[in-house]
Amino acid sequence: MKKFIKVLDIFACIALIVLGLPRIAMVISTKDSTFDLASVPSAQVALVPGAGITADDRPTLALQDRIDGAIELYRAGKVQKILMSGDNSSIYYNEPGVMANYAIEQGIPEADIVLDYAGRRTYDTCYRAKEIFGLDSVIITTQKYHLPRMIFLCDQFGLETYGMAVRQSDYLLNRYIFWNVREIFATIAAYLDIYILKPEPILGSPEPIFTP
């Protein structure tokens, strides 16, 4: 029995390594697009992906960290506006609205906040930034574990993409191993979406943020 368990452990390790190869490739390929606040090039907008809201309509700690990163970029003059993308599939769940309220509380002018109500997935957020909002360049503010996948996706949709990793507060399941294992499978899904499945997210009429 012990020998059988040992064999299973070996196969599990091999499987995890094989599944992790796409993740490693993605991290390496996006490394040169990752910057800190001081070194990141300027872009049209800071692009903030959703990360959940609480029962009392506040951003989760993970989402606060992402918004705070965008606020830093805005105050540093690195971006002109902030595009907040999240889920609003129900009248009882307005993630972009909550994100905007938080940023306004921090002193960001409402006129410089743009809301994407159909950013249900990272794929959708990147797709719509280009196709609906007509952007050419973005700075993504998200956690380090999520950044390579989002840089990859936005880049695939023709955006000039820069990434800035934000802090990762001590929120539930804030564990390096957990999030990176999760990203192994999310990375595989991203490759499938781009190269094979090519799903079309919610579109609608163009809403260009900047006009010529």
Residue 5 resides in a domain: no
The pLDDT confidence band at residue 169, using thresholds 50, 70 and 90, is confident
Nearest to 140 by CA among 65, 202, 209, 58: 65
Could you tell me which residue, 164 or 91, shows the higher pLDDT? Answer: 164
- Here the tokens at position 35 are 């910057």
Residue 164 resides in a domain: yes
Residue 12 resides in a domain: no
pLDDT of 126-157, one tens digit each? 999 999 999 999 999 999 999 999 999 999 99
Residue 91 resides in a domain: yes
Please tell me the pTM assigned to this model: 0.90
Residue 101 resides in a domain: yes
Residue 210 resides in a domain: no
Residue 16 resides in a domain: no
Residue 34 resides in a domain: yes
Pairing of strands 45-49, 34-35: unpaired
Residue 144 φ then ψ, to 5°: -55, -40
Instruction: Please name the residues in contact with 36: beta carbons below 8 A apart, sequence gap of 6 or more.
Output: 164, 165
Domain that holds residue 131: 26-197
Mean pLDDT value across residues 17-22? 75
CATH code for position 182:
3.40.50.620
Q: Which string of b and e fits 25-51 if b means at least 16 CB within 10 Å?
A: ebbeebeebbeeeeebeebbbbbbbbb
Number of structural domains the chain divides into: 1
